[in-house]
Amino acid sequence: MNEQEKDDDLELELDRVSSLYQKIPDEEFSPEVRERIRATARRAVRRGLLERLLSGILGSATGAVTASSSRLQMVATASLFIAVAGLAGIFYVQSQSGVQPLLLTEEEERIPLLKDAEGILKDFNRISEMQPAKVVAESGQAELSEVVKELKDKKSTLSSAAKILEEKSRSKDSKNLLKAIDILDDQINQLEKTPNQ
Amino acid sequence: MLRYKDGDIAAFEVLFTRYLGLKKYISFKLNIFDPEVADEVFQETWERIINARQRYEANASFRAYFETILRNVTASRYRKAVNKENLHLSGSQSSTDDSEDELLDGLVDEKDPGTENRSFITQCVDLLKKAIATLPDEQRESLLLKIESGISLEEIAAITGVNRETTKSRLRYGLNKLRDQVPRECYE
């Protein structure tokens, strides 16, 4: 049997095994896991857009001044910059409220909800500074409902995590989460009052 | 993936949906048949892909890229889990001198009260599951990559860090072992 015939035999046998393997019943990933992955993907896209926007704003503001471009462009850029800076300032102050990162034990790291809460707190200050800027970010058409929805998702996750930690007598961490929830509440309230751009 | 990298969330959804049927595969890959573990591995794999999306380059198929990340995640999981009690299928390796007749006899074992109600194909599937679970890691990995993802020998070689010939050898040895444990009639 030459090499080609051996390869063909191998492929044939793999096909047979594959065919039997396909008869093993499929299983589904849990809806929570699927939704968590989708939420992570959405957050990553938002963060990417925002980072590009912020660097773009700084670049265009500098460019507008040095290149003597039209007065209209300067006014528009400056307005946008002021809006972002102003709103970011509000939230920057809020982000200095002492929310600490959540440290989990090895066992707790296996609880998806706590792992999510850990991730939210890890990015907490950065996110709270960036969220309002994001509102202004998307071509001046504020997508308030999207941002508010995301903040509410985070609040819900932190609330559930706080309950788990409370049950584990981790009152200090639980209070830390409640503090973060209060800040999210303030952000939600302020964003809900913000008129569309 | 390139579209998602550029911020197209709809493209992510299309891509992600294609991978929702891999739970069985991940369980076999880990050799742990615990649904929660498969969920965690799936989530961790996608989180790594999402977090590293800006570094993604289309040098190979996305499936091959996915498999590489999954392999890194499962490798660390497997090391942790190998001694766990939920390794359901451990210790089920057949004696190498089992004849095919004996295997066929086993398919209609009258001592097992549930056996007579089970279809022949169900029993074949069970034998295959046990046989795959008893393969050495390298052989099981190569075999699963081939029969589940259908990617090329070259891509399997790249993912597993060996050359094409070694990949073929692993597949051949793996198939030989399956042949010892799953009677030919099961494939017909």
What's the complex ipTM? 0.75
Tokens of A147: 């941002």
B25 contact residues in A (CB cutoff 8 A): none
pLDDT tens, position by position, A25-81: 888 899 989 999 998 898 888 777 666 655 655 555 555 445 544 555 555 555 555
pLDDT at B180 over 80: yes
pLDDT for residue A94: 45
Search chain B and give the residue with CA nearest A50. B7
Distances (CA, A) of B156 to B1, B126, B178: 20, 26, 20
**Six-digit token pair at B87?**
């390794």
Q: Which tokens belong to B134? A: 């008893």
Length of chain B: 188
- Distance CA(A135)–CA(A99), nearest Å, equals 23
Contacts of A19 in chain B (CB under 8 A): 187
Tokens of A178: 């409640």
Q: What percent of chain B has pLDDT over 90?
A: 36
Closest by Cβ to A42, choosing from B9, B27, B182: B9
Give the Cα separation of B180 and B98 in Å (integer).
7
**What was the pLDDT predicted at B136?**
93
What pLDDT does residue B96 have? 42
Determine contact, residues B181/B87, Cβ cutoff 8 Å. no
Contacts of A40 (CB under 8 A, 6+ apart): B46, B47, B50
The confidence score (pLDDT) of residue A55 equals 60
Report the C-alpha gap between A28 and B39 in whole angstroms.
9
Q: Is A9 in the B-facing interface, judged by CB distances under 8 Å?
A: no
User: Which of B7, B132, B175 is facing A49, going by the closest CB pair?
Assistant: B7
Residue B148 touches chain A, beta carbons under 8 Å: yes
Percent above pLDDT 70 for chain B: 77
Two structure tokens written together for B114: 């549930």
Tokens of residue B31, six digits: 């050799």
- Contact at 8 Å (CB) between A135 and A191? yes
What's the pLDDT at B173? Answer: 95
What tokens appear for B54 in the block? Answer: 């800006």
A21, B12: Cβ pair inside 8 Å? no
For testing contact with chain A, the best of B27, B147, B153, B154 (most A CBs within 10 A): B147
The gap from C-alpha A145 to its chain's centroid, in whole angstroms, comes to 15
Determine the Cα–Cα distance for residues A169 and A175; give it in Å rounded to an integer: 11
Q: Give one word for A139, left, alpha or beta, with left for phi > 0 and alpha for psi -120 to 50.
A: left
> Could A26 and B21 be called an inter-chain contact, meaning their C-beta atoms sit closer than 8 Å?
yes
Residue B163 has pLDDT above 90, yes or no: yes
pLDDT of B131 reads 93
Residue B152 has which token pair? 């090329």
pLDDT at B94: 43
Higher pLDDT, B79 or B151: B151
User: Does residue B84 belong to the interface with chain A, where contact is any CB pair within 8 Å?
Assistant: no
The reply to whether B53 touches chain A by the CB within 8 Å rule is: yes
Q: CA A25 to CA A61: how far, in whole Å?
A: 59
Q: Determine the pLDDT at residue B86.
A: 47
Measuring CA to CA, which residue among B105, B34, B103, B45 is closest to residue B74?
A: B45
Closest CA to A54 of A75, A97, A90, A83: A83
Provide, as residue numbers in chain A, all residues whose Cβ is less than 8 Å from the Cβ of B38. Answer: 27, 29
Q: How far is A48 from chain B (nearest CA, A)?
A: 7
Q: B23: which chain A residues are within 8 Å (Cβ-Cβ)?
A: 26-29
CB pairs under 8 A between A and B: 95
Interface membership of B130 toward A (CB under 8 Å): no
- Quote the pLDDT of residue B105: 53
Average pLDDT of chain B to the nearest whole number? 80
List of chain A residues whose C-beta atoms are within 8 Å of the C-beta of residue B170: none
Could A27 and B12 be called an inter-chain contact, meaning their C-beta atoms sit closer than 8 Å? no
The token pair that represents A31 in the structure block: 């809806």
CA nearest to A57, candidates A84, A90, A87? A84
> DSSP state, B148?
I
Secondary structure string (H, E, C) spanning B14-48: HHHHCCCCCHHHHHHHHCCCCHHHHHHHHHHHHHH
Instruction: Measure the CA–CA gap between A135 and A112, rounded to whole angstroms.
Output: 29
- CB-nearest to A16 from B53, B143, B187 is B187
- Mean pLDDT, to the nearest integer, of B113-124? 68
Q: Do B16 and A41 touch (CB under 8 A)?
A: yes
Q: B128 touching A, CB under 8 A? A: yes
Own/partner pairs, A159-163, CB within 8 angstroms, 24+ separation: A160/A113, A161/A102, A161/A113, A161/A114, A161/A116, A161/A117
Contact A23 B53 (CB under 8 A): no
Mark the ranges of chain A whose per-residue pLDDT is less than 70.
1, 49-97, 125-147, 194-197
User: What does the longest C-alpha to C-alpha distance in chain A come to?
Assistant: 81
Maximum pairwise Cα distance, chain B: 61
Cα–Cα distance between B112 and B127 in angstroms, integer? Answer: 15
Instruction: Give B9-59 pLDDT, tens digit per residue.
Output: 888 999 999 999 899 998 888 887 888 889 999 999 999 999 888 888 877
Q: What is the DSSP letter of A25?
A: P
Instruction: Tell me the C-alpha distance between A152 and B56, whole Å.
Output: 31
Looking at residue A168, its pLDDT comes to 86
